[in-house]
Amino acid sequence: MADAQLSPRYIPDRLQGRGARLLKSWEALLVIVAMVIFLGNSLVSPYFLDPWNLSDATFNFTEKAMIAFAMALVIICGEIDLSVASIIALASTAMGYAVQLGFDTPALVAVGLGVSLLCGAINGLLITGLRLPSIVVTIGTMSLFRGLAFIVLGDQAFTGYPSSFSWFGQGYVWWVFSFEFTLFLLLALIYGVLLHRTNFGRTVYAIGNNQTAALFSGVRVGRVKFILFLMTGLMAGLASVCLTSRLGSTRPSIALGWELEVVTMVVLGGVSILGGSGTIPGVVLAALIMGMVTFGFGLLNVPGIVMSIFIGLLLISVIALPILWQRARRHFAH
Partner 1 sequence: MMAKLLKHREALLVMAIAVLLALIALRFPAFVAPANLARVFNDTSILIILALGQMAVILTRCIDLSMAANLALCGMVAAMLNTAFPGLPIPLVIVTAMALGALLGMINGTLVWKLAIPPIVVTLGTLTIYRGLIFLLTNGKWINAHEMSVAFKALPRLDIAGVPMLSWLSIAMIALMFVVMSRTSLGRAFYAVGGNPHAAIYTGIDVGRTRFFAYSLSGALAGLSGYLWVSRYAVAYVDIAAGFELDIIAACVIGGISIAGGIGSVAGAVLGALFLGVIKNALPVINISPFAQMAISGTVIIIAVAVNARAERRKGRVILRKAEAV
Nearer to partner 1, 108 or 290 (CB): 290
Return d(Cα 267, Cα 319) in angstroms, integer.
Answer: 9
Q: Are 77 and 229 in contact (CB under 8 A)?
A: no
- Please give the backbone phi and psi of residue 56, each rounded to the nearest 5 degrees, phi first: -60, -35
Determine which helix (DSSP H) or strand (DSSP E) holds 173, and give its type and residue range.
strand 172-174
Return d(Cα 298, Cα 73) in angstroms, integer.
Answer: 31
| Residue 69 Cβ vs partner 1, minimum distance, rounded to whole Å | 19
Nearer to partner 1, 80 or 108 (CB): 80
DSSP state of 17: S
| Residue 147 Cβ vs partner 1, minimum distance, rounded to whole Å | 3
| Residue 313 Cβ vs partner 1, minimum distance, rounded to whole Å | 6
Nearer to partner 1, 13 or 155 (CB): 155
Q: Are 264 and 84 in contact (CB under 8 A)?
A: no
Instruction: Tell which phi-psi region holds residue 104, choosing left (phi > 0), alpha (psi between -120 and 50) or beta.
Output: beta
Q: Are 83 and 141 in contact (CB under 8 A)?
A: yes
| Residue 176 Cβ vs partner 1, minimum distance, rounded to whole Å | 31
The site for partner 1 (CB under 8 A) is made up of: 1-3, 6-8, 82, 126, 130-133, 135-137, 139-148, 150-151, 153-155, 211-212, 215-216, 221-222, 252, 256-257, 260, 263-264, 267, 272-274, 303, 305-306, 308-309, 311-313, 315-316, 319-320, 323-324
Rg of the chain over all Cα atoms, to the nearest angstrom:
20
| Residue 216 Cβ vs partner 1, minimum distance, rounded to whole Å | 7
Nearer to partner 1, 29 or 82 (CB): 82
- Please give the backbone phi and psi of residue 158, each rounded to the nearest 5 degrees, phi first: -95, 130
Nearer to partner 1, 6 or 173 (CB): 6
Apex CA 124: angle with CA 118 and CA 130, to 5°?
125
DSSP β-bridge partners for residue 333: none
| Residue 31 Cβ vs partner 1, minimum distance, rounded to whole Å | 21
DSSP β-bridge partners for residue 177: 174
Nearer to partner 1, 109 or 293 (CB): 293
What single-letter amino acid sits at 177? F
First to last CA, the chain: 29
- Residues with Cβ within 8 Å of 4's Cβ and at least 6 positions away in sequence, in order, are 10, 209, 272, 274, 276
Nearer to partner 1, 272 or 279 (CB): 272
Nearer to partner 1, 305 or 333 (CB): 305
Q: Are 295 and 39 in contact (CB under 8 A)?
A: no
| Burial (CB count <10 Å: 0-12, 13-18, 19+), residue 220 | middle
Nearer to partner 1, 185 or 221 (CB): 221
- Dihedral sign of CA atoms 68, 251, 243, 168 in order: negative
| Residue 148 Cβ vs partner 1, minimum distance, rounded to whole Å | 5
| Residue 274 Cβ vs partner 1, minimum distance, rounded to whole Å | 6
| Residue 138 Cβ vs partner 1, minimum distance, rounded to whole Å | 10
